[in-house]
Amino acid sequence: MLVAGLFFATFLIVQQASVFCGLMMWTTSTLKNVGAPIFVVEERVEQINEINPLRDTDVSRVRSVSSVRWAMPLYSGIQRVRLQSGSFKTVQLIGIDAASLAGGPVRMVRGNLEDLRLPNTVVIDELAVTRLSEDKKNPIQVGDRFEINDIEARVVGICKAMRSFTGGPYLWTTYERALQYTPASRKMLSAVIAAPLDGVSPDAAAEEITRKTGLRAYVNRGFGEAGNDFNTSTVWWYVKNTGIPISFGTTVVIGFIVGIAIACQTFYAFVLDNLKHLGALKAMGMTNFRLSLMLIIQSATVGLIGFGIGLLATSAFAYAAIQNQQPPFVMPWQIPVVAFGVIQLICMVAALLGIVRLSLYEPAMVFRA
């Protein structure tokens, strides 16, 4: 029962925290899929999925900054794909510079990225193969066609990509064609992606871009890696402005409460059940300190077993999640370490209750049957 309680608590804490981290990772998927070192956005933008369009001339303004090696336009937006059957699917459309193809997918599975320069072409990610296929036995492949905003789109490549926060697949096309696929508005430029000159750090270049253009330049390094990192800013925006952390946090807290309730009750019951034996040991001359140590070790060992089984179950869940590509699952090393600490804390509280009960037990009681 005790092991089961701790297993359950471990599973809830680790699994929910990892799914939360995975979800937060998904919020930054555009940053991972468009691998530019610097993202320049409108000055009030705090996260990558928030689009405050820039003027086309802002690309030239960024290029004019002395520490910038190159700067290219980027379109990013959610569009609807119309399949041959007439059904619609939502996709994350990325428009990149046709000449340089900067911001294109990193790993192509089939086809050539250069074929994006051909008319009405797109590169889709592997998720799109599943999502945009009308017949599972006959999945979409290079050469197939569908429509975006009544304009033909022909698949010229399939790539690997991280899944988007909205759950839709990624489609890459050229910037100009992305503007054609998208209903027109006055400003269409989502961001400018850039790279620093050799010998200049992305941070220094971003700082100079911000200073000289008034736009907001973020580096794209990874969560927690830099102060002006777009990943970090994006994740924190979601943490602060959505109910996601509260939702997952509640489950984690429930895991903790369930764990502590079951562990304390069961371990206390165990101590009560064995009070006569423990009392006999006390009568025979075992010190309270040694008995307490015994209970602590016993509790910690049970905690270790419960944690191990819980982690194993979470790993099985993670394996299934990774195979299915959902739910999102990312388990940084801090999660199991903290969860282990929490489980051991639960065990120590449970042991403490037993220790208090045992220390109040008079060894003479053992003579009273």
Residues that bind other proteins (CB under 8 A): 276-277, 279-288, 290, 362-364, 366-369
Q: Which is nearer to other proteins, 184 or 369 (CB)?
A: 369
DSSP E strand stretches across 301-357: none
Sequence-distant (6+) residues with CB within 8 A of 260 are 9, 346, 349, 350
Q: How far is the CB of 368 from other proteins (least distance, A)?
A: 7
**DSSP string of 271-302?**
HHHTHHHHHHHHHTT--HHHHHHHHHHHHHHH
Q: Which is nearer to other proteins, 52 or 359 (CB)?
A: 359
Asked whether 191 and 40 are in contact (CB, 8 A), the reply is: yes
Q: Which is nearer to other proteins, 187 or 277 (CB)?
A: 277
Residue that the structure tokens 């991972």 belong to: 32
Q: Which is nearer to other proteins, 242 or 288 (CB)?
A: 288
Q: How far is the CB of 275 from other proteins (least distance, A)?
A: 11
Q: How far is the CB of 261 from other proteins (least distance, A)?
A: 25
Q: Which is nearer to other proteins, 137 or 368 (CB)?
A: 368
Residue that the structure tokens 């989502």 belong to: 190
Instruction: Please compute, for residue 141, the number of CA atoms within 13 A of its CA located in the half-sphere on the CB side.
Output: 6
Instruction: Please compute, for residue 204, the number of CA atoms within 13 A of its CA located in the half-sphere on the CB side.
Output: 10
Instruction: Please compute, for residue 16, the number of CA atoms within 13 A of its CA located in the half-sphere on the CB side.
Output: 20
Q: How far is the CB of 290 from other proteins (least distance, A)?
A: 8
Residue that the structure tokens 């086809």 belong to: 111
| CA distance from start to end of the chain | 28
**DSSP string of 52-104?**
-PBPTHHHHHHHTSTTEEEEEEEEEEEEEEEPTTS-EEEEEEEEE-TTT-TT-
Q: Which is nearer to other proteins, 275 or 349 (CB)?
A: 275
Q: How far is the CB of 277 from other proteins (least distance, A)?
A: 5
Q: Which is nearer to other proteins, 55 or 290 (CB)?
A: 290
Q: Which is nearer to other proteins, 212 or 357 (CB)?
A: 357
Q: Which is nearer to other proteins, 55 or 277 (CB)?
A: 277
**DSSP string of 53-67?**
PBPTHHHHHHHTSTT
Q: How far is the CB of 346 from other proteins (least distance, A)?
A: 23
DSSP E strand stretches across 138-231: 145-148, 151-160, 170-174, 191-196, 216-219
Neighbours of 286 (CB within 10 A): 14
Q: How far is the CB of 367 from other proteins (least distance, A)?
A: 5
Q: How far is the CB of 324 from other proteins (least distance, A)?
A: 43
Q: How far is the CB of 333 from other proteins (least distance, A)?
A: 35
